[in-house]
Amino acid sequence: MKFKIYRYNPETDTAPYMQGYDLDIKAGNMMLLDALILIKASDDSLSLRKSCREGVCGSDAMNINGRNGLACITQLSTLKQPIELRPLPGLPVIRDLIVDMTQFFKQYHSIKPYLVNNDPPPETERLQSPEERAELDGLYECILCGCCTTACPSFWWNPDKFVGPAGLLQAYRFLADTRDQATAERLDNLEDPYRLFRCHTIMNCVDVCPKQLNPTKAIGKIKDMMIKRTV
């Protein structure tokens, strides 16, 4: 199988380049990450992030044949050859397929991704009804791999001001939580022309999410909440 992989080592290379690799394997049930591990066995200078190798940690997000995804849950047999692998777009490259996700996490932290509840903690847990808990489905599953945010042109252009789909999905995860008491502050935090409203609903985020989540829908629900409290 043929691969073309983005290579860049800022200590030795003046510019990034694409390196070809040829593996003598059959796709079978193999995942892309398995092939990458084989390539790394023959060329240990290739750098990439990986951890759980089953689509839970979100470490091995990369651009696969022009589309963001997780290498560990992408079937080799579904990919057209030569398989072209690049780092996630729109973020600074540290080396090869490894990007600097500082900006991504800065935006994530800016939406206060934790429960705000000033009531004294009860003896047991803070209870929710099954219906209230169901509101969080499709939101809490996000693994912060960055596939959606780095597929978003609004984030490419305003990474310092637009929160991005992953951050906004998490913002709604806490807005939708009945145990959270900071709804007004959370909405205020997003009520500006950049942080939420730079989303132009092109839905690249929905298209690439490896967990089949829908940030665009969450963004729409945040807008609904804002309208509800305004009119």
Partner 1 sequence: MLNRIVTGAHYGLRDWLIQRITAVIMVIYTLVITGYLLLQPAIDYNAWTLLFSSNVVRTFTLLFLLCTFYHAWIGIRDIVMDYVKPAAVRLLLHVLVIITLLLYVIWSVQILWGM
Q: Contact, 111 vs 186, CB < 8 A?
A: yes
* Residue among 22, 54, 100, 192 that touches partner 1 (CB under 8 A): 192
The answer to whether 191 contacts partner 1 (rule: CB under 8 A) is yes
H or E element, residue 148: none
Q: Closer CB to partner 1, residue 134 or residue 220?
A: 220
Q: Closer CB to partner 1, residue 114 or residue 157?
A: 157
* Residue among 185, 188, 202, 220 that touches partner 1 (CB under 8 A): 188
Round to whole Å and give the CA distance between 59 and 68: 13
Cα separation values, 24 from 4, 35, 48, 161, 215, Å? 15, 10, 21, 46, 39
Q: Contact, 92 vs 160, CB < 8 A?
A: no
The answer to whether 226 contacts partner 1 (rule: CB under 8 A) is yes
- Please choose, out of 30-38, 61-69, 157-165, 175-183, the segment that lies near partner 1 by the rule CB under 8 A: 157-165
Handedness of CA 25, 30, 35, 38 (dihedral sign): negative
Who contacts 170 (Cβ-Cβ below 8 Å, separation ≥6)? Answer: 108, 111, 113, 139, 142
Q: Closer CB to partner 1, residue 71 or residue 166?
A: 166
Q: Closer CB to partner 1, residue 6 or residue 197?
A: 197
Q: Closer CB to partner 1, residue 173 or residue 195?
A: 195
The answer to whether 190 contacts partner 1 (rule: CB under 8 A) is yes
Q: Contact, 128 vs 179, CB < 8 A?
A: yes
At 108 the three-state DSSP class reads helix
* Residue among 157, 181, 207, 220 that touches partner 1 (CB under 8 A): 157
Distance in Å, CB of 174 to partner 1, minimum: 19
Residues that bind partner 1 (CB under 8 A): 157-158, 160-161, 188-197, 223, 226-227, 230
